[in-house]
Amino acid sequence: MAKERTQARRDHLAQLRAAQKRKERRTAMLMWGAGAFVIVLLVGLVGFYVIKDRAQTSLDGVQTYSYKGSQHTPIKVNYKETPPVGGQHNPEWQQCGVYDAPINSENGVHSMEHGSVWITYRPDLPKADVAKLKALVTSDYLLLSPFPGLKAPVVASSWNHQLVLKGADDPRLPRYITKYKQNPSTTPEYGATCTGSGSTAKLASDNPLPTTAPTPAPSAAPSSSAAPAPSATPTS
């Protein structure tokens, strides 16, 4: 009987130890699982904010084109892009600064050829947002004007480059200005002025451009009033 009781106690202790080990394993698994979940959660949060930050500040949305500079024309141009990003343009460049009404694209394109960034916005953009855009135009080589028919609330353009923006608060706009304003590798006439002689500060409504080139005046006909040269007198 004593041996049976001893064996029973041993079996009971073994069962208790086994149960304790199972409990410890379950606890360890729960702790490892919780730790792994926290790590995955932290990695996911970091990744989310990195992706979000890149999406907000990246300039991957910039579209590029291939227009050659130094192509002047006095007439209106039917540009392929809206707003234009290059191509033929008026001999006068638009004086850089803020305009509260549309300007001629042909003059704006010439300013971009000199290294300017042209910020355009929909005419119905809220006044508070327009004020935010105006606050960015604090240096030379920046143009700001409304643009009828714009495909987005705000669009930033420079020679052969353009970025469609979500609005005045889009964080990519200051980065675009920093990168493309007077960029020596993208500006056809780097160092050319954006003000002064040769520029215009007129609005499109005050500076209508012809749709066709003026017909050159006919050259003058040769005059026939000159006296004929005397014939030689025969000698005797």
Entry pTM: 0.70
Q: Are 156 and 177 in contact (CB under 8 A)?
A: yes
3-state secondary structure 34-68: HHHHHHHHHHHHHHHHHHHHHHHHCCCCCEECCCC
Tens-digit pLDDT profile for residues 123-174: 999 999 999 999 999 889 999 999 999 989 999 999 999 999 999 999 999 9
Tens-digit pLDDT profile for residues 115-128: 999 999 999 999 99
**Tally of CB atoms within 10 A around 49:** 10
Tens-digit pLDDT profile for residues 23-32: 878 887 877 8
Closest to 191 in 3D by CA, of 136, 118, 140? 140
- DSSP state at residue 204: G
Please, which pLDDT band fits residue 223 given cuts at 50, 70 and 90?
low
> 157 forms bridges with which residues in the sheet?
118, 162
Q: Are 85 and 113 in contact (CB under 8 A)?
A: no
